[in-house]
Structure 1
Amino acid sequence: MASIKLSVERLTEGLYIKLPVQWTDHPFLLNHFKIKDSQQIRLIKNLGIKHVFVIPEKSDTQPLDPDNTLEAISEHESRFLDQQAEKLWQEKQGRIEKLKNYKRKLQRCEKNFSRSMAQLRSIVGKIKSRPVTAVKEAELLVEEMVDALLESDNVALHLMNEGSDNEDIYSHSLNVAIMAMMLARSSGMAGQDIKTIAIGALFHDMGKIKVPTAIIRKTTPLTEPEENYLKLHPKYSVDLADLSDSFPKQAKPILSQHHELLDGSGYPKQLKAEQIDPKAQLVSVVNAYDNLCHPQDPAKARIPYSALSYLFKHKKEQYNKDYLALLIRLLGVYPPGSVVQLSNQQLGLVISVNSESLLTPNILLYDPTVPSNEAPIIDLEESHLRIEQVIHPSKLPDKVHAYLNPRSRISFYFDPDD
């Protein structure tokens, strides 16, 4: 929306303004807001700035005439304003400290995610030559992740930076495992069952290493023989698991059945409803979501919001409805990775979900007055803003895209709340 440069002497209640200073240089929660009273005007003037930017379309009134000014204030009023400013600054400092803690948590989460990716690469590299060792290492990885998942009552799911393009199989497998574990936890499964889900999810696509790379990476439609070859990967995954006597028997149905659908239209055996293992049904939902976000043809990739909506609106008959509902609760109405426009017209990137309020996730804001590595992150529920629409990353201006850096691969990891 177009903005107009305006002298601070012409400010009045009802104007929607943007402050021309960095977020950390003023006591207000946001750089964009509607003036609600004369105290805010005094506080703005006390910042020492000469002008602000007014957005007429979001304003309820017109600026004051140039010759209209606010009356001088008394010493009592001045002290009161100083007290209000100090109160706002204290609240702002609290939010800044909270933001620093949140970013430290994200950094820790990123580190754990990268370490898990490295371990998974090592496991896949050993699955043919040293299957017993590979399964043992996978079990240790799962044990560590499940213990971290279960150690807190409140676990947050965070958006991670993507891996490199040649790590699709690792990113997908780890992504499915992470979300499947959290889904299993949300459904009330016991720790051992969650570990079974996790080991099955980690290995569910390992059979693809026996499928020619030309088929795996092909972006144009597969021929019938190629599609048939690709559909052998569940069998190949089981074959690889069978190389080790220690691979959990209860996890093998996840490998063989994660493409089976409740209506019998899946593969390889066209199983229906209760014929499909419940744990495979859970992984199937998560696998479908991640595949919609990251198909073989990148041009067909759906943004997280669209992928979740598509499953809910068009695929309810094919997937377990309880697990699908839990996935929506886990990812929120606006899943991590979604680019959104807020009610104050600011753009932002959803980076984590508020499980208690699915419409109000945590948003990394686009604010060109702040370096991207210091961009404010707001809890939408506390800000009193709302999401107006989801925007496809391809429609973002270049400078906004570079700032928000929406991920081409949407990967998640969890971190227990401190």
Structure 2
Amino acid sequence: MAKVPQKKLLLSELQLGMTVKLPLSWTNHPFLFNRVEISSDAKIEMIRGLGVTYVFLLSASNTKQQTAETDTEDEIEIEPERDLKADTRKAIRLSQKRFLMNVNNCRDIYGKVVSDPEGAYRLSAALTEDLLSHLQEVETPFLTLVGMDEKEASVTQHGVSVAVLAMMIGHALDLAPKELRDIALGSLFHDIGKLKVPEAIRCKHGALTPQETSFIQMHPNFGFDMLNRCGLFPKEALNIVLHHHEFVDGSGYPDGLTGHKIPITTQIVSLANDYEQQLSGQQITSPKIALGHLFKNHASKHAESLISVLVKILGIYPPGTIVKLSDGSIAKVIMTTKEVSQPQVWACKEDGSDASLRFLILEGVTIEQAIKVEELTEGAIRSLQVDKGISFYFSSLQT
């Protein structure tokens, strides 16, 4: 089949309705394929932010039938025998890259909420679509451990990670795409009100005074007011921002809502946020311990059915958990799999040597138990990067 000549198009010439091909590897941009149908101004802005000077013009109008055909030819190389190790490494790198890109995009959006609310909403809608496409690109999504260099997650980093967990719960419950979008949008902005709380209070280590506690508990109201003034955000997303600290037993804030008075989308984000808060606390450093603490001490605060779904998604050994393997190695869980005792791990010997990505399913090795950081040697702590912050993103690995 003869190839159709591709015309270079300057970014200043991009228009709605065009179909273009990006001059980048698919791992270097947030779109599902290199071929992009420009259906919104937000997509134009996203392409302009990729650092390229041109794209290839494929069509001046939508060509969905051609898209599927060309994507198959240009983007997918079908190998006779799948290389699980290579696919896993690629998936881990892609999850990390997507996470960092979305955190940075979220930070930019936060900066526009007051000065350019329409622009902020357009970009946040585009970010929401990216999250939804990443969730749905494989039939059974799993979780990958991701993070940034900071030990403590920023508001935007926390927002993206909570969005991923909450959307995974919603996906498992077969919620409609509209509800998943509301969950994503509400999660991304749920803590934006904390930016109005003095940093000395927001980042304080140790117990807060009653006055400080009262101040920080106003952040849902601050966030709701900021977004509500825009007049663009859907009421369901605003409800999440205002009520993400509400619990079904009425012990939450700011309104002490109970049970059915809290929409299911808000309940889901409340649970995902509560788990992440357990994990980010100074006393809990293990995702497995954080999950156990939630199950034991906060069970009455959330619907039992939602907690069960969260446990199923995170697995017995959630990403970030330090474990001992059946061959005596020490490892950190990197990605969940369908075999709960055989996730993908980064492993090393007890002294920290021979660190590598391990594929327990292929090796027939299993996890014996979770272990505490205090039990590790200095070498293992360095090799496993135990002090690195823990966040989650969707895995693109097809199982």
- Give the TM-score taking structure 2 as reference length: 0.75
**Equivalent residues of 1:132, 1:243 under 8 A apart:** no
Residue 82 (structure 1) aligns with: none
The code of the aligned residue for 1:328 comes to V
Write the mapping of 1:331-342 to structure 2, written as runs, cut at 5 A: 331-342=314-325
Give 1:417 shift.
2.8
SS at match of 2:359: strand
Q: Which moved more, 1:242-251 or 1:404-413?
A: 404-413
Q: Is 1:225 aligned with 2:205?
A: no
Give the alignment partner of residue 378 of structure 1, picking from 359, 383, 388.
Answer: 359
Out of 323, 345, 353, the position equivalent to 1:363 is 345
Residue 141 in structure 1 maps to residue 141 in structure 2 = no
Q: Note if 1:416 corresponds to 2:376.
A: no
Deviation for aligned residue 1:132: 2.0
Query: 2: distance between equivalents of 1:98 and 1:414?
Result: 17
- Deviations along 1:153-172, whole A, 9 cap, x unmatched? 12221111324357521111
* In structure 1, distance between residues paired with 2:179 and 2:375: 42
Which of residues 304, 308, 311 in structure 2 aligns to 1:328? 311
C-alpha displacement at 1:98, in angstroms? 2.7
Deviations 1:71-129 (A, max 9, x none): xxxxxxxxxxxxxxxxxxxxxxx99x532331122112211111111101101111222
1:387 equivalent in alignment to 2:373? no
Aligned match of 1:29:
none
Hey, what does 2:382 align to over in structure 1?
A: 402
Q: Distance in 2 between matches of 1:409 and 1:384?
A: 29
Measure the CA separation in 2 of the matches of 1:394 and 1:123: 39
Q: CA deviation at 1:282?
A: 0.4
Q: CA deviation at 1:371?
A: 5.3
Does the 8 Å contact 2:352/2:381 carry over to 1? no
Structure 1 position 288 matched with structure 2 position 274: yes
Residue 255 to residue 158, structure 1, CA distance change in 2 (3 Å): same
**Aligned partner of 2:223 among 237, 242, 250:** 237
Alignment of 1:142-181 (within 5 A): 142-164=128-150, 168-181=154-167
* Aligned residue in 1 for 2:331: 348
1:269 equivalent in structure 2: 255
Structure 2 counterparts to residues 58-207 of structure 1, below 5 A: 97-164=83-150, 168-207=154-193
Query: Given the alignment of the two structures, is residue 249 of structure 1 paired with residue 235 of structure 2, yes or no?
Result: yes
CA distance in 1 between counterparts of 2:221 and 2:376 reads 42
What are the superposed Cα offsets for residues 229-262 of structure 1, whole Å, 9 maximum, x if unpaired? 0000110111111121211112111111111111
Q: Give the direction of change, closer, same or farther, for the CA distance of 1:313–1:217 in structure 2 (3 Å limit).
A: same
SS in 1 for 2:185: helix
- Number of aligned residues: 317
CA distance in 1, matches of 2:223, 2:357: 44
**Distance (whole Å) between structure 1 residues aligned to residue 389 and residue 353 of structure 2:** 25
Displacement after TM superposition at 1:364 (Å): 1.8
Matched AA of 1:393 = V
Contact 2:342 2:366 in 1 (8 A): yes
Find 2:198's aligned residue among 212, 222, 230. Answer: 212
CA shift, 1:384, in A, is 3.2
Contact 1:332 1:361 in 2 (8 A): no
- C-alpha deviation, 1:416, in angstroms: 2.7
The residue identity in structure 1 corresponding to 2:348 is: Y
**1:334-391 CA distances to partner (integer Å, 9 max, x unpaired)?**
000001011222111111111x33232222221479754xx13213x44333322211
Q: Structure 1 167/127 Cα, relative in aligned 2: closer, same or farther at 3 Å?
A: farther
Deviations 1:304-344 (A, max 9, x none): 00010111122211112111111111110100000101122
In 2: Cα distance, 1:384 partner to 1:307 partner: 28
Higher mean alpha-carbon deviation, 162-171 vs 206-215, is at: 162-171
What secondary structure does 1:107 align onto?
A: helix
**Residue 257 of structure 1 contacts residue 277 of structure 1 at CA under 8 Å; is this kept in 2?**
no
Q: In structure 2, the residue corresponding to 1:262 is in which secondary structure?
A: coil
Letter in 2 for 1:225: Q
